[in-house]
Structure 1
Amino acid sequence: MESSPNTTGFFSRAALLALAFVVAACAAPGRAWAIDPEGPEVKELIDKGLKFLETKTDRRLGGKCLIALAFIKAGQPNHARVDEALAACRQEVGKPINRLDVYSNGLALIFLSEARGRGDSNLLGQYLDKLYERQKPHGGWGYHDKQTGDTSQTQYGALGLWEAHQANRRIDPDAAMRMAHWLVATQDPSGTWGYQGAVSESSGRVAQSGVSVTMASAAMGSLLIAADMFGVLNPIYFDSVDSDAVEPLDGDSGGSESAELPSALRPRDAGGAASRQAPPLSSRGLAVARIYQSLEDGANWMENNYKIDADTYDNYYLYALERYKSFEELLNGEDDPEPHWYNDGYQKLLGSVRADGSWSESCGVAVDTAFAVLFLLRSTKKSIRATIGEGALVSGRGLPSDVSKARLSRGQVVAERAAVKLNDFIGMIDRDETPSGYADGGVSLVEGEVDAETADRLAELLRTGSPEARLAAAGLLGRTGDLARAPDLIYALTDPDRRVVLAARDALRMLSRRIGGFGLPNDFNENQRRQAIASWTRWSESVSPGTASAAR
């Protein structure tokens, strides 16, 4: 086998690795301490906030519903504030759409869906109809007297649709699809979103105004919600399929959407968890590839611009951030009990809580307090777990690595793979007979696991193998699920073969369950490569301190 050359572009592999070691040495030794919704410190803040909300309410329907939702999520579905919100929903439902704002409409839907054990099914349906009536022709929601869609308001329309869908209400697929397409069409070229969306009339993007982490969180959460309702966040992989039985992405042509999956399909096991998730909406006509690209670009923007201080409407932002991150966890198939953004939010709320247990920023003291409590409770994560089952959150969801080879069937993404036994595959690597298509997800490995000995062999191939062997080894190491293999893949980022670098990048994304990774583009330059190595090294040190030296 040929050995790897010693240089790559303007930087030698030795220099790039030296950079990684310096970054690892300088990196902080992980978070000082962790926090979670069940911890005593968090529960104390939650209890103080709820005690305050027992004495304060809000005059707006949306505010009443938000406060009631906080009590429901805290396990108090029969609280007086829930009764108050139910009475307000019955009283306000007759208002004309120019008197019922989208925030209140969406929050009423969310609340009634969560309180369906006590609520009125007909009432929920009435608010759903009003939401449809308020939707703009382009698909977004906004102020009654404006033509533009409003990213801030659209997020409550999105969550309202999702909650109603999970409550087994029949949802109009066109309404959800137009919302998703509006979000794609109003994405800024940088990957974020603005406040009042300027719609692009082509496949290109137009500059947006009022961009912020708050709007990015609102839009990303809404787009992930739409994708989840259409079932396109959960690819089904199979060994062979009749091409006439599935339809191309974006619904341009193909077979019947309602056809049963062919018997040859063998879906991945999601862990056997009981699921009460509603069946996906019809996805015919859905621009799936563009949605995937928007999610990728949005995740990259948030990765590069994340901050816990929104500068204005901070608690409102925290509620949007928790929603976005909860659906992102669903997409990535992860269940991190101590995410850094949650710790950041807790610290912020701890520092801003008032003596009476309230928070006050811009939305009104009762509403700001409800936002804080819902963030601390991980309210969206609770809703997701209630619908898909406790164990299904880590069921291997994610975006197909090659959208061009994916198809839609019954609202699910299916991607064809060739089945190869693991032992045979390793032998192929040794003989330089790696099957084509492995690096982009085109091969399904069966009958075997990557044990420690095999992983060591693959790590060796990353250093001494031929380009094709290094390419395959990088892809396979990413499927081990072993974070201790991250340094080997960081080493592979220094490879002179750009295909190996991209395979290692994708493998690190898979291993870390980060959709956007650290932003290394397909056409990366040496500076971007160097930045990615530094970022991945810092990440590796944060999850497994002391492992960076393994890349030597």
Structure 2
Amino acid sequence: MMLRRFHHLRWLSGLLVFATLACGPWRSARAVTPDSPDVKAVLDKAFQFLETADDARLGGKCLIGLAFLKNGADEKHPKIEAAVKACIAATKRDATEIKNDIYSTGIAIIFLCTLNPSKYSVEILKLRDSLLARQKPHGGWGYPERDTGDTSMTQYAVLSFWEISKAGLGCDIESTEKVANWIIRTQDPGGSFGYQGREATFEEEEGKKPKMELVKQDSAKLSMAAAGLGCTYMVADLLKLSELTTERDAKLPPALRPVKKPLAQVALTDKVELRYIRAAQERGRSWLAKNYKIDPPGFTFYYLYGLERYQSFYEASEGRFIKEPRWYNEGFVYLKKEQQEDGSWKGANEALNAPDTAFAVLFLLRSTKKAIEKSRAYSEATLVSGRGLPGNSQEVAIRSGRIVQTKVNVTITQLVDILHAPEHKAFGTVSGDLELLRERLTPLTAAEQATHLARLRTLALTGGAESRLAAVKVLGLVRDLHGAESLIAALDDLDWRIVVAADHSLRQIGRIVSPSTLGDKPNKVARADAIQSWKLWLLSIRPDAEFFN
């Protein structure tokens, strides 16, 4: 009974913090959302300024480009073209030679993931590798000349990792574990986060786990509290220690809600404890509720973007959404008051007017909320109702638990094209019915198959995660022996689902019925053993095989 009361009180305290920041006691004369005419008028002025604004840094160009992207501009917009050009120039070097600062590198990744992760996957992964090379041993990111991690920089590395994962380009588990534990260890006992993180101490107790003692941090600023808190939600989602939902999910009737995948709640790690993350979140929310204000001195516009990010992840984690939250309305009132005649916002440093304006725009657009909603696209969901069925029940079949049409007027070329385009409206249907591709490929001659199989082998290694997964499965279904090198290379994929699927496809090709030893969770030793075993197998039947890994 006492335990149940404790959990109830914990939940209630979190709800009160949420209600304080979301609803009141403050209310504006007229509450607004990003779609309100008043907000759009402010945004229009801001974009007029950004049309001619510039920043010499990679991160500044990408921040401006990101603002236009979030507002619906396409790749042909001059500011987006300029940001792409800067990203390509930065990634001409090897990952270890990329010297752009951590902010710029992280924002460039976020920009490219928002723009077109399939098209720019090479650049994204090279930028990611440069971040991995600069991650400090304790897990954070910071200035090269300092041993400490910098919370401000680290938030952009973590956000870029989250964007990479949601774009289907994998998640580096070990790196994410390290930064997750660093964030936990560098929280102030009062709940805030410092600028240069000071790590907790550990007290040894005989027969017990070491007890973590948080230490006082170098500062207690709202911008760092928002940064640290946002990171706790992102790493929890990356490691599948918790699950995000969207406002659209919450509003759907039960018959139309996305079905949870069976493994959705299987954690990807046992090296980060959810109880520590939850405790950090509770402390942080409590501190923020007590100290919150919309316009702290210093880097106010940078703070507003961090605040929107934290609030968006908090909403999605808790599944509680307020249409017109207090923090957003206060932010709008402040930004409307401070906007200059030319549409910009000016902080203490005029050289930062362009990025400050972009930060303000991203706040007003609810940029992070849009990213979360995009990451939970309905194309990956299966409806639990029978709506959408063809009129003729004789033209349907059940495959992999889905009801699919058996008579579809589409060519194999079109099907493979769709697998290359996760944004295509039919992607979910095609990737969910891979037997259709097998049926279309099998009757073709070897010469006719060659082009399609070559595209699938390449897609298995270079596409977005869902595309790679589908391609790997198709290669197994058609028993493509010449695709074995691609499948063995796919065993090195960062997405463990793809590793397991590649192993299964190789077993289909080799007609091997013994069970896989990989398991459901990432395992470096099992992966290495599988790669070595499959290489030896392929060389035994194809001595001329050349491997990619």
Task: Tell me if both proteins adopt one fold, taking TM over 0.5 as the criterion.
Answer: yes
Residue 334 of structure 1 and its aligned partner are, at CA, apart by: 1.6
2:234 matched to which residue of 1? 225
Alpha carbons 1:189, 1:207 under 8 Å: kept: yes
Residue 235 of structure 1 and its aligned partner are, at CA, apart by: 9.9
1:311 matched to which residue of 2? 297
2:32 counterpart of 1:35: yes
Residue 174 of structure 1 and its aligned partner are, at CA, apart by: 1.0
Partners in 1 of 2:154 and 2:26 — Cα distance? 40
SS in 2 for 1:54: helix
2:355 matched to which residue of 1? 367
1:301 matched to which residue of 2? 287
Question: Structure 1 stretch 366-375 or stretch 223-232: which is displaced more?
Answer: 223-232
Residue 120 of structure 1 and its aligned partner are, at CA, apart by: 1.6
2:368 counterpart of 1:383: no
The higher relative CO (CA closer than 8 Å, separation ≥ 6) is in: 1
Pick closer, same or farther for the CA change 1:150–1:28 going to 2, 3 Å.
closer
Alpha carbons 1:275, 1:388 under 8 Å: kept: no
Alpha carbons 2:186, 2:197 under 8 Å: kept: yes
Alpha carbons 1:36, 1:338 under 8 Å: kept: yes
Alpha carbons 1:274, 1:389 under 8 Å: kept: no
1:123 matched to which residue of 2? 123
Pick closer, same or farther for the CA change 1:45–1:270 going to 2, 3 Å.
farther
In the superposition, the TM-score normalised over structure 2's length comes to: 0.58
Residue 286 of structure 1 and its aligned partner are, at CA, apart by: 1.5
1:188 matched to which residue of 2? 188
Partners in 1 of 2:289 and 2:318 — Cα distance? 15
* 2:326 maps to amino acid: H
Question: Residues 236-257 of structure 1, C-alpha deviation per residue, up to 9 Å, x if partnerless?
Answer: 9xxxxxxxxxxxxxxxxxxxxx
Partners in 1 of 2:283 and 2:221 — Cα distance? 15
Partners in 1 of 2:46 and 2:25 — Cα distance? 33
* 2:367 maps to amino acid: S
2:197 matched to which residue of 1? 197
Alpha carbons 2:26, 2:326 under 8 Å: kept: no
* 1:373 maps to amino acid: V
Question: Residues 346-404 of structure 1, C-alpha deviation per residue, up to 9 Å, x if partnerless?
Answer: 11111111101111214611101100110000000000011124899xxxxxxxxxxxx
Residue 92 of structure 1 and its aligned partner are, at CA, apart by: 1.4
Residue 28 of structure 1 and its aligned partner are, at CA, apart by: 6.1
Pick closer, same or farther for the CA change 1:269–1:368 going to 2, 3 Å.
same
* 1:91 maps to amino acid: A
Partners in 1 of 2:336 and 2:146 — Cα distance? 38
Partners in 1 of 2:241 and 2:174 — Cα distance? 16
Alpha carbons 2:193, 2:217 under 8 Å: kept: yes
Question: Residues 300-337 of structure 1, C-alpha deviation per residue, up to 9 Å, x if partnerless?
Answer: 11111111112100000000000000000011102211
2:168 matched to which residue of 1? 168
Partners in 1 of 2:48 and 2:175 — Cα distance? 39
Alpha carbons 2:158, 2:231 under 8 Å: kept: yes
Partners in 2 of 1:275 and 1:111 — Cα distance? 29
Pick closer, same or farther for the CA change 1:118–1:373 going to 2, 3 Å.
farther
Question: Residues 475-510 of structure 1, C-alpha deviation per residue, up to 9 Å, x if partnerless?
Answer: xxxxxxxxxxxxxxxxxxxxxxxxxxxxxxxxxxxx
Partners in 1 of 2:39 and 2:182 — Cα distance? 37
1:246 matched to which residue of 2? none
Aligned mate of 1:339, from 296, 319, 325: 325
1:89 matched to which residue of 2? 87
Question: Residues 272-303 of structure 1, C-alpha deviation per residue, up to 9 Å, x if partnerless?
Answer: 14899x96771221121111100111111111
SS in 1 for 2:52: coil
Residue 195 of structure 1 and its aligned partner are, at CA, apart by: 0.4
Residue 33 of structure 1 and its aligned partner are, at CA, apart by: 2.1
Partners in 2 of 1:359 and 1:289 — Cα distance? 40
* 1:87 maps to amino acid: K
Aligned mate of 2:312, from 304, 312, 326: 326
SS in 1 for 2:53: coil
Partners in 2 of 1:270 and 1:102 — Cα distance? 44
1:357 matched to which residue of 2? 343
Partners in 2 of 1:86 and 1:389 — Cα distance? 25
SS in 2 for 1:215: helix
2:137 counterpart of 1:152: no
2:44 matched to which residue of 1? 47
* 2:42 maps to amino acid: L
1:258 matched to which residue of 2? none
Instruction: Point out the structure with the larger helix share.
Output: 2
Partners in 1 of 2:319 and 2:198 — Cα distance? 33
Alpha carbons 1:86, 1:119 under 8 Å: kept: no
Pick closer, same or farther for the CA change 1:29–1:149 going to 2, 3 Å.
closer
Pick closer, same or farther for the CA change 1:275–1:124 going to 2, 3 Å.
farther
SS in 2 for 1:296: helix
1:138 matched to which residue of 2? 138
Alpha carbons 1:349, 1:372 under 8 Å: kept: yes
SS in 1 for 2:201: coil
Alpha carbons 1:273, 1:391 under 8 Å: kept: no
Pick closer, same or farther for the CA change 1:48–1:151 going to 2, 3 Å.
same
Alpha carbons 2:27, 2:326 under 8 Å: kept: no
Pick closer, same or farther for the CA change 1:368–1:118 going to 2, 3 Å.
farther
1:17 matched to which residue of 2? none
Partners in 1 of 2:306 and 2:53 — Cα distance? 23
In the superposition, the TM-score normalised over structure 1's length comes to: 0.57
Partners in 1 of 2:187 and 2:255 — Cα distance? 33
SS in 2 for 1:196: coil
* 2:318 maps to amino acid: N
Aligned mate of 1:286, from 269, 272, 275: 272
1:416-455 equivalences under 5 Å are none
Give the length in aligned residue pairs: 335
Gaps of 5+ in 1: 1-26, 237-267, 393-552
* 1:111 maps to amino acid: F
Alpha carbons 2:64, 2:355 under 8 Å: kept: yes
Question: Residues 212-244 of structure 1, C-alpha deviation per residue, up to 9 Å, x if partnerless?
Answer: 0100000000111101112222399xxxxxxxx
- Residue identity (%): 40
RMSD between aligned alpha carbons? 2.7
Pick closer, same or farther for the CA change 1:36–1:301 going to 2, 3 Å.
same
Partners in 2 of 1:346 and 1:73 — Cα distance? 17
* 1:312 maps to amino acid: G
Pick closer, same or farther for the CA change 1:117–1:283 going to 2, 3 Å.
closer
Alpha carbons 2:244, 2:319 under 8 Å: kept: no
